[in-house]
Amino acid sequence: MSKLILFLSALLLFVFTGLSYSHAQVMNERHSNVAFQLTAGTQGVGGDFHFGVAKQLSLRAGAAFIPVKANNVFTIAGFQSTNNVSVKFSNIHLMADLIPFANAQGFRLVAGAGYLYKATGGLEVIPTGTYNVGNYNLTAADLGRLNIDVSWKGVAPYLGIGLFKGIPKRRFNVNFDFGTYYLSQPRTRVIGTEMLADNYKLEPQFNSNLKNYRWMPVMQMNFNFRIR
């Protein structure tokens, strides 16, 4: 909790400083720079509208999506099975880009937040073999299936840096973002069928094991097209 308070305090200080700086800049010069950027990176693919509100401050609003599915990504020793893994992260976000040094226009401090309306990871394990337990032969159908789902849905503050100009001086440029979201505490759900049905009792242990998995690193390339 103390880490979250410190993080949010730093975020609020950043935004307050940026807005104060923006007001001073707007008093001297008004800007109407607008760009659209296509994004690709660890938070998926997406797009942002980028608005210049002052000489060294701009705002971004957009969305990003990660749809990933994979089959049989691991094996369980001594247990014949197939598995399916899926990751679905979708967010909308609002960011502020502040250029802190007038003589370094290509360096940006970035802060804001995203709302993850879908943020899940899922694992399905399907037994495929025949198993001997005591005097019984158990088939895959007897064992059933096991699904483990993890969710981080909610508001996630963001803090990072950016390299190269956010809004192109001419028509097009490429820049980069590096930072991290601070996610809500994950919640797990374990659903089993047949003989695996009692595995729901593992949920408290999964929640405890994953409680610190709250950082989502962002490494992103942006393709920027100036509109005006």
pLDDT digits (tens, 9 = 90+) for 112-130: 999 999 999 999 999 888 8
pLDDT at 160: 97
Other CB atoms within a 10 A radius of the CB of residue 63 amount to 17
Does position 87 have pLDDT exceeding 60, yes or no?
Answer: yes
Q: What is the per-residue pLDDT across 45-75, written as a single tens digit (0 to 9) for each?
A: 999 999 999 889 999 999 999 988 888 877 7
37 CB-near residues (< 8 Å, 6+ apart): 47, 48, 50, 60, 62, 222, 223, 224, 225
- Compute φ and ψ for 14, nearest 5 degrees: -60, -50
**126-178 residue pLDDT tens:** 988 887 777 778 888 888 999 999 999 999 999 999 999 999 988 999 999 99
How far apart are alpha carbons 188 and 46 in whole angstroms?
A: 27
Q: What is the pLDDT of residue 59?
A: 96
**Which domains can be identified in the chain, with CATH numbers?**
2-226 (2.40.160.170)
- Looking at every residue in the chain, the average pLDDT score rounds to 85
